[in-house]
Structure 1
Amino acid sequence: MSIDIATPELTPPRRRSLSRVAVAAVLALVVLLAAATAGIGWYFSGVAVEVTHADVYDLKILDSGDGTVTLPRDETTALPGTWALVWKTDRDKAPKNDRALLGPVVTATSKKVVRKLETNGVAAPAKGAKAFIDHWIYDSDPRQALGVDFQNVTYPSELGPMPAWLIPGRTFNGPWVIGVHGRNADKLETMRAIPTVHRLGLPMLSIAYRNDSNAPVSRDGKNHLGDTEWKDVASAIVYARAHGATGIILHGWSMGGAMVMTTLRKDPAFIRGVVLDSPVMDWNATLDKQGASRHLPGFVTDVAKQILERRIGIKLADFDQRPYAPQIKVPVLLYTTADDETVDNGPAFTFARKAPHGLVTHVETQGGHTEAWNVNPSAYETALTTFLTKIH
């Protein structure tokens, strides 16, 4: 009697070898993808927290003369409104820059735009000079730029004395406006609001905060997206109270808006109202927008956000202002711009809808990030005047 024993089918040696190679290749790709994702995420998160005060000269002067300047046409150079043109010069054989007021468009084609240029005695820019358009307009102090008297002061903070400009009002005993600039900006960003506040006779404290030029540096030297910076706003409020303020209106630009909202949530007692100019109302949404503009896949941006949270010890969800909107108890003036490529406006619109009826005045304009004033200074100042007059 014979018994047939079934022999198991063996995988040919070459097939086994190919299978192992394929598995190894997949694992290698997974490792490489994970490493690449982590690396890109680390870099992107670093961009968000980096402190830099360098100017970016992203234009080249095509021609100038007879009170005009010719620039490459893009979304910025053809915009109506009030702007400054800043350009590099080798005057006196040392790299410097000059600036002038950029006037109305004279002519424009698909590739270039010719605008009036009010140089006020400064030599016209040379053909080929590197330049950029500055929506802050001014590069000097309130007295030189606006003819408005001011004092250089310091206010105490947990990191040491912080510099600020104090623009007197008719009296120091009354409501004050505190101007809070945005990420990697400085007090110059607040200059566009100073004339309106000054005309109303209100004192204005335009503050620097941690990691600004000539200000104390935080331990890690990084932007914390308002999570720690808001404490400097709170310190400025203490300073204002000690010098006569009976109430505070906070005016914040971009990340300064996030700082203003955090201050309002954490220390609201002395705040009468807030002005928000292109504010970051949700960091998650804004970082998603920034990731998309860099063509990053969503999962890479998500990794970057997780890395960012660990790097600076925050929870991005804590900076979503929309859930707080129904609890708002003070008036809010909100400016948003249609072409803001820096901050996601969606959360600001939602915030305005969810706030109690009548508390949020929402002014929608054309222009880019924090450029509502530049596109239409008169409309901006009218809205600000009406708002401040009602609440002070």
Structure 2
Amino acid sequence: MSTEAPESPAPAAPEPPVRPRRRRARPLMASVVALAVLLFAAVGGIGWYFAGVAIEVDHSAEYPLSIVDAADGTVTLPREPETERPGEWALVWKDGRALLGPIVGGDEDRVVRKVSSVVSGSLVKGAPAAIDHWMYDGDPERALGLPFESITYPSQVGPMPAWLVPGSTLHGTWVIAVHGRNADKAETLRAMRSVHEMGLPMLSIAYRNDVGAPSSGDRKNHLGDTEWHDVISAMGYARAHGATGVVLYGWSMGGAMAMTALRKDPSFVRGIVLDSPVLDWSATLDKQGDARNLPGFMTDVAKRVLEWRIGIDLTDYDQRRYAPRLRRPVLLYTARDDETVANGPAYTFARKAPPGMVTHISTLGGHTESWNVDPAAYERALKAFLKRVS
């Protein structure tokens, strides 16, 4: 037996020291998260701002033009699309108003228009001014020489002011006029003479958040989603004072309100007149987002924020969904150059309605300017419609 001790195994080669891995993933992940948070905050902030613009109550006036000269019954203005259009327009400035006549001169930079009358104030060279498609201001008597009564009708938020221009009798069909967003009753004056000549009473209403009217609880514009209640209240006033039915007449957002009131209380409505109406808020907000160069996804965020802020369901204001079930005649005016409201839904609404139910008149001009570009044609269509439904 061997007495030699077994050889010790050769020592293993030393392993290289284990170096800790650099923790790159966590800083990278943190950066991604931070960037996502910043992006979300930016998109959310833009959405919040855009939604805020849509629901802001703003009755301030802007005067983007400057009067170049005024003499010998004319006024000289910078040549802009709004100053060179034919038709019936007013020129307004801080303390005055003039009704404009036709173009009588000018050059490539300026346009000279006849002044039909100076309603108030004085035309002064250099004064800031604006073209006003409402034409008239004040009340029905001062603007048009029409007798009227200032009344209040009860509403959910308090006594609401309105003008009542009497017809040949208070017993019969009334016209309830509903102005647009951030406008006031003066927007309805252009239609008032035609309605009066038809012998129909016209109730031109203020609604919540108007100047001189009660405010909503949040002092926000709800795009007609709460304001339509005031239209229903005005219908109740008309019913209580002799009306046997009403024609609802809405401009812009007032059109959205009129259509909602029709759906809520159709039995008392004889017909609807819509002038540049909002027949789909979602499409209109898309149009306004495009005008502000917002990417589509940001406009979508803004719409979701808006729905959350004022509790509105925008899909409920796509009137195309209800067109096939329309059972009341509609007179629809759209302006081809409308830069405020999307026109496409109005064309689709007219197409989807039962045959003969919608009389659609497409005109030149911009938002709610169908009357201005051709008052005679506008009023002929209006009178024919009122005769049909009253």
**TM value normalised by structure 2:** 0.93
| Equivalent residues of 2:99, 2:119 under 8 A apart | no
Which of residues 266, 269, 272 is equivalent to 1:271?
A: 269
Take 1:224 and 1:32, find their aligned partners in 2: how far apart are those partners? Answer: 29
- Partners of 1:142 and 1:333 in 2: CA distance: 24
Q: Which amino acid in 2 is paired with 1:183?
A: R
DSSP-derived class of the 1:85 partner = strand
- Structure 2 match to 1:163: 161
* Structure 2 partner of 1:91: none
* 1:92 corresponds to: none
- Once the two structures are superposed, what CA deviation does each residue of 1:330-364 show, in whole Å capped at 9, x if it has no partner? 11000000110000000000000000000100011
Report the equivalent of 2:341.
343
Aligned to 1:236: 234
1:73 alignment partner in structure 2: 79
CA distance in 2, matches of 1:277, 1:357: 20
Residue of structure 2 in register with 1:365 after alignment? 363
Could you tell me which of 96, 99, 111 is aligned with 2:97?
99
Pairing 1:1-392 to 2, within 5 Å after superposition: 24-88=30-94, 97-120=95-118, 124-392=122-390
- Which AA in structure 1 matches 2:350? A
Structure 2: distance between partners of 1:6 and 1:73: 87
Residue aligned with 1:269, SS: helix
Deviations 1:237-275 (A, max 9, x none): 111011110111000000000000000111111000000
- SS across alignment from 1:362: strand
Against the structure 1 CA distance between its residues 9 and 302, is the aligned structure 2 distance closer, same or farther, given a 3 Å change threshold?
farther
Alignment check: 8 A CA contact 1:64 1:124 kept:
no
Letter in structure 1 aligned against 2:49:
Y
Q: Describe the shift of the 1:353–1:4 C-alpha distance in structure 2 as closer, same or farther (beyond 3 A).
A: farther
User: 1:337 and 1:244 mapped to 2: Cα distance?
Assistant: 35
- Which letter does structure 2 place at the counterpart of 1:105? I
8 A contact 2:97–2:121 mirrored in 1: no
Q: Residue 47 of structure 2 aligns to which amino acid in structure 1?
A: G
Q: CA RMSD in A?
A: 2.1
Paired with 2:264 and 2:36, the residues of 1 have a C-alpha distance of 44
Change (3 A) 1:33 1:383: same
Percent identity over the alignment is: 64
- What whole-Å deviation, never above 9, does each CA across 1:42-88 have from its counterpart, x for those lacking one? 01101111111111111111222122212222221111111110113
Question: Which stretches in structure 2 are left out of the alignment for 5+ residues?
Answer: 1-8
Which secondary structure state, in structure 1, belongs to the residue aligned with residue 226 of structure 2?
coil
Q: How many residues align?
A: 381
For the residue of structure 2 that corresponds to 1:143, the secondary structure is helix
| Contact kept in structure 2, 1:63 and 1:71, CA below 8 Å | yes
SS in 1 for 2:46: helix
Q: Which secondary structure does the structure 2 equivalent of 1:34 belong to? A: helix
Assess, with a 3 A threshold, how the Cα gap between structure 1 residues 7 and 27 changes in structure 2: closer, same or farther: farther
Structure 2 distance, partners of 1:355, 1:7, is 83
Structure 1 runs not aligned, ≥5 long: 89-96
Q: Could you tell me the TM-score, scaled by structure 1's length?
A: 0.92
- How far apart, CA to CA, are the structure 2 residues paired with 1:70 and 1:281? 38
